Amino acid sequence: MSGEKNETEKLQQQVTLLTEQLLRSEKLASLGELAAGVAHEINNPIGYVASNLAVLSEYTDSLTLLVRRMSEQLPIAQSNLLKSQFDYDYICEDLPKLLAQSEEGLYRVIEIIRDLKDFSHLDEDEFVDADIHLGIQSTLNIVANELKYKAEIVKKFADLPLVYCIPSQLNQVFLNLLMNAAQAIESAGVITITTGFDEHWVWVSVADNGSGIAADKLEQIFQPFYTTKQKGQGTGLGLALSRSILEKHRGLIEAKSELGLGSCFIVKIPRHLATAAAAG
């Protein structure tokens, strides 16, 4: 009797979790759409701001030179007086810095928009030949804020071939692994992302020096709803989802871990998926 009640309670809990997850993915999907729309809208003004800035920089050089030449025609005392009245020397020094800074800021915005666009194709499920490193980098940029107080990111990238995959879905896997790694680190850890390949596989590993996982839990972590996190922190679906994404890619996801030392998740994607898929 009480066993039955336990079962019912468990089921109810799972329904609640599933509902939460569903709501969250609904939100994510509409967020994705919104992000793609906003990115598209921002692209146009950013485009002309960027080209204006380049021209402005040329104009500034011209104008400062013109002022200098003209001031040479004046008696030196008068020229110095005018220059100091208008802060000429300071402006000449500061202008290029301001322009460079603005350019830098603008490129940062352009990068963010590109990442948002890459990332927001959440619903796309087409296999394409993709550069995995681009996916990792745009995922990293998306989670940079979450990671920066927790961990230093070390990248050891090989010279990878293109991979036949659904990029947005692999990004989802990288996102899960990076968030898990960060959540396993209490403070000031290191997350190492390594990539490599051989004849059959392209692989990506995400290693952390966080809490680690007990050996007898290493398989359970891939089960849906297995979580050791507090409500709101985790649903226990990240790794299950990641595994199903990799199955779709005829790939693998494996975990190695040592309690107290850290964990390493390895994602393997077949190099010749196109041919493998055709062969059935």
**Contact footprint for Mg ion (CB under 5 A):** 180, 238
Q: With respect to ligand ADP, which residue has the nearer C-beta, 213 or 269?
A: 213
Q: With respect to ligand ADP, which residue has the nearer C-beta, 21 or 71?
A: 21
- Distance from C-alpha of 131 to C-alpha of 133, rounded to nearest angstrom: 5
Select from Mg ion, ligand ADP, none the partner in contact with residue 169, using the beta carbon and a kind-dependent cut-off of 5 to 8 Å: none
Select from Mg ion, ligand ADP, none the partner in contact with residue 229, using the beta carbon and a kind-dependent cut-off of 5 to 8 Å: ligand ADP
Q: H or E element: which one contains 158? A: none
> How do 189-197 and 151-156 pair as beta strands?
parallel
Q: Which of 226, 186, 228 is nearest to 208 (CA)?
A: 186
Distance in Å, CB of 260 to Mg ion, minimum: 20
Q: With respect to Mg ion, which residue has the nearer C-beta, 172 or 192?
A: 172
Distance in Å, CB of 27 to Mg ion, minimum: 17
- Distance from C-alpha of 107 to C-alpha of 242, rounded to nearest angstrom: 32
Distance in Å, CB of 127 to ligand ADP, minimum: 24
Q: With respect to Mg ion, which residue has the nearer C-beta, 224 or 238?
A: 238
Q: Which residue is nearest to Mg ion (CB)?
A: 238
Select from Mg ion, ligand ADP, none the partner in contact with residue 263, using the beta carbon and a kind-dependent cut-off of 5 to 8 Å: ligand ADP
Q: DSSP characters for 179-223?
A: HHHHHH-SSSEEEEEEEEE-SSEEEEEEEE-SS---GGGTTGGGS
Distance in Å, CB of 259 to ligand ADP, minimum: 9
Single-letter amino acid, residue 225 = F
Backbone angles phi, psi at 237, to 5 degrees: -110, -10
Distance in Å, CB of 223 to Mg ion, minimum: 13
Select from ligand ADP, Mg ion, none the partner in contact with residue 211, using the beta carbon and a kind-dependent cut-off of 5 to 8 Å: ligand ADP
Q: DSSP characters for 77-108?
A: HHHHHHHHHTTHHHHHHHHHHHHHHHHHHHHH
Select from Mg ion, ligand ADP, none the partner in contact with residue 221, using the beta carbon and a kind-dependent cut-off of 5 to 8 Å: ligand ADP
Select from ligand ADP, Mg ion, none the partner in contact with residue 184, using the beta carbon and a kind-dependent cut-off of 5 to 8 Å: ligand ADP
Distance in Å, CB of 7 to ligand ADP, minimum: 22
Strand ranges inside 135-188, DSSP E: 151-156, 163-165
Specify the 3-state DSSP secondary structure of 253.
strand
Q: With respect to ligand ADP, which residue has the nearer C-beta, 44 or 230?
A: 230
Rule CB under 6 A: which residues touch ligand ADP? Answer: 176, 180-181, 184, 208, 210-213, 221, 226-229, 234-240, 263
- Distance from C-alpha of 280 to C-alpha of 275, rounded to nearest angstrom: 9
